[in-house]
């Protein structure tokens, strides 16, 4: 019996050695291959930067990414989850299934050339202020490089890239989660442009928004006001009640709104008014309760003003469920890859960008550093949150922007379209590919991540905050 146990121990040690000896060449392979093909992926990211297509309208961007994947042997499912610009690309067979998320939508009103001074390409045009041109291209780069390594090594497993449109307000990943497209994935990887390099175990805010529409009765505001019922009164009463409610909700709650329509002439009692309202909280279940109170306030405002109210949900997103097992693995790989190395031209560009800030910027050298691991909370919202409740999920940020740059700014658009952003994109692609190799070689790591995920998730049954709403395919058309 003792001899048998020694044999098993030796066999296991040999297995571990084989795993390690296989992992190192694999990581070196993906790093070298991404260096070799950097010009290809830089060109793809620049094309998407030039397209600057808004959410659910990314026809050129999605076609370019799908062609690149198809040309490299991936099987493509287009138009998934009732969204024409969404797709799933797969290569390989069997378990584990490693998913990678890709985004590619731009933002309205952020047109900007890739120069360090304010210079719109098209006044009022769109621009990649959140770097999704890099996000989509970098994720595709990681997926194709992993495919090449799978072919070379004969390793089993499946790489699946998810093309997810309309992150900026459209919540496409929620519809994909609701359609069950993530159900069999073992681990999901993603990244996002940033002004720093980090792989925190990060949470975020759950989020829900809707247009509240009030219908009244028009009348002459001076000659016959008694015959009118003001829809604007309904909106203002609703907003007032919500503002009073702020004192009696958990302090982490965020509620913000804008009146989109309030009438056309002061001497006509408005028969239609509309307010867009958003609410956020770190916990999706808490947000549900807060949202129910908001709806009741709207119903009360309508009753009190003699108007009628209906509301249309726009977006509903879960909070990110962080996974420390996966984040620490990704952090190790990010530290191995390192930060963004600026050339003299990059540094000159960065210094000029920082001159445009009206606040003190961090040192430019931060772009070349990797921040230490930590657990943190991101004070905004993302549709990756829903994915993280379906499958253990991990992400990182890389310094695609000059340190100190805010997302959704012209300074971010400029960096996303030039060398600085593209260098950081390759850092992200290498880190994701190396993390995927760790998972493909070490099923125990996936199991550890799942145990943590199940513990944090609890017995919750995932139910979309969107209900049965269809994808809002036209929300950016106007």
Question: Is 275 part of any domain?
Answer: yes
Question: Is 474 part of any domain?
Answer: no
Residues 349 and 393 in one domain: yes
19 pLDDT tier (thresholds 50, 70, 90): low
Residues 330 and 383 in one domain: yes
Token pair recorded at residue 11: 């066999």
Query: Is the predicted pLDDT of residue 15 greater than 80, yes or no?
Result: no
Alpha-carbon gap, residue 427 to 135, rounded angstroms: 11
Residues 197 and 277 in one domain: no
Single out the residue in 262, 295, 317 at which a domain terminates: 317
Question: Is 432 part of any domain?
Answer: yes
Question: Is 296 part of any domain?
Answer: yes
Number of compact structural domains in the chain: 2
Give SS3 for 166.
coil
Nearest CA-CA partner of 423 in 406, 403, 405, 398 = 398
Token pair recorded at residue 267: 């001497």
Weakest mean pLDDT among 11-25, 100-114, 340-354, 398-412: 11-25
Query: Is the predicted pLDDT of residue 1 greater than 80, yes or no?
Result: no
Question: Is 61 part of any domain?
Answer: yes
What pLDDT digit, counting tens, does each position of 365-410 carry?
Answer: 999 999 999 999 988 899 999 999 999 999 999 999 999 999 999 9
What pLDDT digit, counting tens, does each position of 109-139 carry?
Answer: 999 999 999 999 999 999 999 999 999 999 9
What phi-psi label fits residue 169: left (phi over 0), alpha (psi between -120 and 50 degrees) or beta? left
Cβ–Cβ under 8 Å, residues 445 and 438 = yes
Contacts of 104 (CB under 8 A, 6+ apart): 48, 53, 58, 61, 62, 65, 132, 133, 135, 136, 163, 165
197 pLDDT tier (thresholds 50, 70, 90): very high
Domain that includes residue 270, residue range: 212-317
Question: Is 467 part of any domain?
Answer: no
Single out the residue in 263, 288, 317 at which a domain terminates: 317
* pLDDT score of 20: 55
3-state helix vs strand vs coil in the chain, percent to 5: 45, 20, 35
Alpha-carbon gap, residue 457 to 242, rounded angstroms: 31
Average pLDDT value for residue range 161-180: 96
Query: Is the predicted pLDDT of residue 105 greater than 50, yes or no?
Result: yes
Alpha-carbon gap, residue 137 to 62, rounded angstroms: 10
Residues 273 and 344 in one domain: no
The interaxial angle of helices 2-36 and 132-153, nearest 10 deg, is 130
> What CATH number has the domain bearing residue 273?
3.30.70.360
Task: For the chain, give the mean pLDDT.
Answer: 94
- Percent of the chain whose pLDDT exceeds 90: 92
Average pLDDT value for residue range 211-234: 98
143 pLDDT tier (thresholds 50, 70, 90): very high
4 pLDDT tier (thresholds 50, 70, 90): very low
Residues 219 and 138 in one domain: no
Residues 118 and 29 in one domain: yes
* pLDDT score of 17: 41
What pLDDT digit, counting tens, does each position of 418-458 carry?
Answer: 999 999 999 999 999 999 999 999 999 999 999 999 999 99
Query: Is the predicted pLDDT of residue 358 greater than 90, yes or no?
Result: yes
> What CATH number has the domain bearing residue 328?
3.40.630.10
* pLDDT score of 477: 87
Residues 162 and 19 in one domain: yes
Alpha-carbon gap, residue 280 to 278, rounded angstroms: 7
- What letter would DSSP give residue 81? G
What pLDDT digit, counting tens, does each position of 287-325 carry?
Answer: 999 999 999 999 999 999 999 999 999 899 999 999 999
Neighbours of 155 (CB within 10 A): 15
Query: Is the predicted pLDDT of residue 254 greater than 90, yes or no?
Result: yes
Alpha-carbon gap, residue 435 to 134, rounded angstroms: 19
CA dihedral 321, 396, 384, 158 (to 10 degrees): -100
Question: Is 27 part of any domain?
Answer: yes
Alpha-carbon gap, residue 173 to 185, rounded angstroms: 14
Residues 267 and 378 in one domain: no
Higher pLDDT, 459 or 89: 89
Single out the residue in 301, 317, 333 at which a domain terminates: 317
Residues 166 and 290 in one domain: no
Question: Is 473 part of any domain?
Answer: no
Residues 14 and 139 in one domain: yes
Q: Note the pTM of the prediction, 2 decimals.
A: 0.92
- Percent of the chain whose pLDDT exceeds 70: 95
Neighbours of 396 (CB within 10 A): 26
Query: Is the predicted pLDDT of residue 177 greater than 80, yes or no?
Result: yes
282 pLDDT tier (thresholds 50, 70, 90): very high
Residues 33 and 170 in one domain: yes
Query: Is the predicted pLDDT of residue 13 greater than 50, yes or no?
Result: no
Residues 178 and 327 in one domain: yes
* pLDDT score of 255: 97
Cβ–Cβ under 8 Å, residues 436 and 155 = no
Average pLDDT value for residue range 200-223: 97
- What letter would DSSP give residue 357? -
Query: Is the predicted pLDDT of residue 91 greater than 80, yes or no?
Result: yes
Query: Is the predicted pLDDT of residue 221 greater than 90, yes or no?
Result: yes
* pLDDT score of 334: 98
* pLDDT score of 10: 35
Question: CB-based burial of residue 34 (10 Å sphere; 0-12 exposed, 13-18 middle, 19+ buried)?
Answer: buried
């Amino acid at each position: 019996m003792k001899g048998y146990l020694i044999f098993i121990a030796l066999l296991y040690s040999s297995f571990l050695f084989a795993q390690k000896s296989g992992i190192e060449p694999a990581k070196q392979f993906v790093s070298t291959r991404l260096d070799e093909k950097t010009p290809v992926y830089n060109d793809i990211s620049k094309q998407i930067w030039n397209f600057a297509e808004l959410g659910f309208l990314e026809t050129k961007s999605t076609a370019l990414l799908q062609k690149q994947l198809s040309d490299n042997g991936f099987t493509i499912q287009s138009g998934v989850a009732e969204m024409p610009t969404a797709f799933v690309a797969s290569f390989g067979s069997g378990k584990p299934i490693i998913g990678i998320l890709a985004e590619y939508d731009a933002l309205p009103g952020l047109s900007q050339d890739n120069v360090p001074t304010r210079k719109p390409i098209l006044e009022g045009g769109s621009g990649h202020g959140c770097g999704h041109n890099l996000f989509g291209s970098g994720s595709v780069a990681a997926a194709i490089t992993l495919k090449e390594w799978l072919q070379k090594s004969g390793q089993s497993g499946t790489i699946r890239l998810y093309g997810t449109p309309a992150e900026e307000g459209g919540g496409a990943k929620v519809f994909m989660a609701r359609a069950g497209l993530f159900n069999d994935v073992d681990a999901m990887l993603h990244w996002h442009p940033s002004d720093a390099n980090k792989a925190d175990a990060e949470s975020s805010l759950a989020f829900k928004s809707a247009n509240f529409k009030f219908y009244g009765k028009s009348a002459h505001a001076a000659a016959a006001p008694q015959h009118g019922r003001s829809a604007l009164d309904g909106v203002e009463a609703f907003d007032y009640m919500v503002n009073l409610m702020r004192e009696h909700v958990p302090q982490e709650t965020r509620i913000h709104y804008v009146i989109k329509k309030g009438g056309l002439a002061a001497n006509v009692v408005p028969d239609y008014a509309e307010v867009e309202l958003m609410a956020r909280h770190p916990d999706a279940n808490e947000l549900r309760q807060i949202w129910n109170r908001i709806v009741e306030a709207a119903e009360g405002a309508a009753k009190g003003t003699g108007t009628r109210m209906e509301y249309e949900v726009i977006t509903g997103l879960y909070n990110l469920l962080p996974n420390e097992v996966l984040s620490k693995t990704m952090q190790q790989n990010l530290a191995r890859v390192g930060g963004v190395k600026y050339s003299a031209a990059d540094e000159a560009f960065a210094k000029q960008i920082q001159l445009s800030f009206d606040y003190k910027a961090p040192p430019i050298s931060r772009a070349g550093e990797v921040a230490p691991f930590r657990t943190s909370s991101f004070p905004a919202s993302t549709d990756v949150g829903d994915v993280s409740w379906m499958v253990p999920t991990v992400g990182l940020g890389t310094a695609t922007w000059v340190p100190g740059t805010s997302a959704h700014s012209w300074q971010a658009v400029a960096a996303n379209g030039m060398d600085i952003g593209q260098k950081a994109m390759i850092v992200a692609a290498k880190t994701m590919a190396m993390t995927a190799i760790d998972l493909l070689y070490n099923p125990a790591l996936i199991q550890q991540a799942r145990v943590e995920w199940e513990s944090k998730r609890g017995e919750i049954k995932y139910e979309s905050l969107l209900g049965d709403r269809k994808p809002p395919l036209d929300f950016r058309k106007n």
